[in-house]
Structure 1
Amino acid sequence: MPTVIIIGVIVLIIILLIVWGIKLYNRMISHKEMVTNAMAQIATQVESRWDALSNLIQATKNYQTHESETLTNIVAQRSGVNKNSSVDTIEKDDRAFQQALRAIDVVVEQYPNLKAADVYQNTMASVNNYENNVRHSRMVFNDTVTKYNRLIKSFPNSIVAGMTGFQPEDYFESTPEKQEMPQW
């Protein structure tokens, strides 16, 4: 009789461990999906930001052909950002965007009438709005990554995460350029 009880307890413990592992695995999947969703939100805002910048480029075409071609080339070379993009891809895209903004500043300095134009002012307001949305989306992403990384790094979750291939995600890092709000 004691052997049957011991075997029953062992089987029960094994069943409980399997149920716990399945629930934990599903929680990790859920958190990983939230990270993917947060990156998709960034991708959406980045895409909208580039669309607003493209509209601004259209406004500058009437002022200077050379700068317009430079800006168009910068936009054409940007990286495609989507929900599967890495933090590095977003950072590269952000550098291209900043380069395009600097090129627009050059055009605006040469043509003060452009800066006073309603089209320019409205479009710059849109760019600024999307830039703020990108910053907010990055904060949400980092918060989501923190929750996910905590889940997969804490013991005993780290054992299940290691066995099932869950890896920590990277954060967006703060840089001096990102700490300052744009001054357009």
Structure 2
Amino acid sequence: MFWAIGAVLVLALFAVLTYNQLISKRNEVKNAWATIDTQLQRRFDLIPNLVETVKGYMEHEKGVLEAVTKARTAFMNADSVKDQAAAENMMAGALKSLFAVSENYPDLKASQNFMMLQEELAGTENKIAYARQRYNNSVMDYNTALQVFPNNIFANMFNFQAADSFAIENEEARKAVRVSF
């Protein structure tokens, strides 16, 4: 009799500990995504200033400026991690093109505003890269915790869902921008 009560108590304690561990890991994933979201928002807040600075110098490069604006709009309208990641990848490509084109404008490159904005964006890009890595590590830890035995039993019982990693889906975004004069 005591053995059965003890086994039920141990099982209940294990279920509570497992549940709490999964909640903690899920919250780490959410927090890591919030960090990416904050850095992406910072980047997208810098974009209008960069575009305005560049506009006067490269009036005939409207396609590049439109791509940056389109990517910013896509990010602002994104509803999910996957949509935000796609918009972020679009923005990364547009910014690469923008900075590649800016190489053709020596006055622009020498502009104090442009240099300051470029430096701010470079710092933000580094923070985004770090935040992506942290997010993907959190997702891996969380998803692993969901899949290992016996956690998988409790994860299914409590309807925990796997999280998506932040990945580059666009092959163009993986390529280096080629600058030629």
Is 2:123 the counterpart of 1:90? no
State the match for 2:74 in structure 1: 78
Question: How big is the shift at 1:106?
Answer: 6.7
Answer yes or no: is 1:125 the counterpart of 2:136: no
CA–CA separation in structure 2 for the residues paired with 1:106 and 1:137: 25
Give the Cα separation in 1 of the matches to 2:145 and 2:96: 41
**Distance in 2 of aligned mates of 1:144 and 1:128:** 24
Larger radius of gyration: 1
Structure 1 residue 92 displacement after superposition: 1.0
TM-score normalised by length of structure 1 = 0.79
Give the 3 Å change call, closer, same or farther, for CA 53–76 of structure 1 in structure 2: closer
Residue 38 of structure 1 deviates from its aligned partner by 0.1
In the TM superposition, residue 138 of structure 1 has moved relative to its aligned partner by 0.7
Rounded to whole Å, the distance in 2 between the matches of 1:158 and 1:30 is: 15
1:45-124 residue pairs with structure 2 within 5 A?
Answer: 45-65=39-59, 67=62, 70=66, 73-74=69-70, 77-80=73-76, 85-86=80-81, 88-102=82-96, 104-105=98-99, 108-109=102-103, 111-124=105-118
1:10 partnered with 2:17: no
* Cα deviation digits, residues 58-101 of structure 1 (max 9, x gap): 2123334563962674255222389x842x22321123313432
State whether residues 65 and 98 of structure 2, in contact with CA within 8 Å, keep that contact through their aligned partners in structure 1.
no
SS of structure 1 residue aligned to 2:76: coil
Cα RMSD after superposing both structures: 2.9
Q: State the distance in 2 between where 1:106 and 1:125 align.
A: 15
Greater RCO structure (CA 8 Å; 6+ sep) = 2
Q: Which amino acid aligns with 1:171?
A: S
Q: Which amino acid aligns with 2:156?
A: G
Partner of 2:144: 150
CA distance in 1, matches of 2:132, 2:72: 24
State the Cα deviation string for residues 12-53 of structure 1 (Å, max 9, x = none). Answer: 211221121012101111110000000000000111111222
Kindly tell me the number of residue pairs found equivalent between the two proteins. Answer: 174
Secondary structure of the equivalent of 1:80? helix
In the superposition, the TM-score normalised over structure 2's length comes to: 0.81
Structure 2: how far apart are the matches of 1:139 and 1:46?
A: 14
Summarize deviations over 1:110-168 as a string: whole Å, max 9, x none: 53311111111111111111111111101111111121112111101110001111122
The separation in 1 between residues aligned to 2:28 and 2:55, in whole angstroms, is 41
Partner of 1:134: 128
Retained in 2: the 8 A contact 1:47–1:81? no
The answer on whether the counterparts of 1:39 and 1:85 sit within 8 Å (CA) in structure 2 is no
Q: Percent of aligned pairs with the same residue? A: 26
Is 1:34 matched with 2:28? Answer: yes
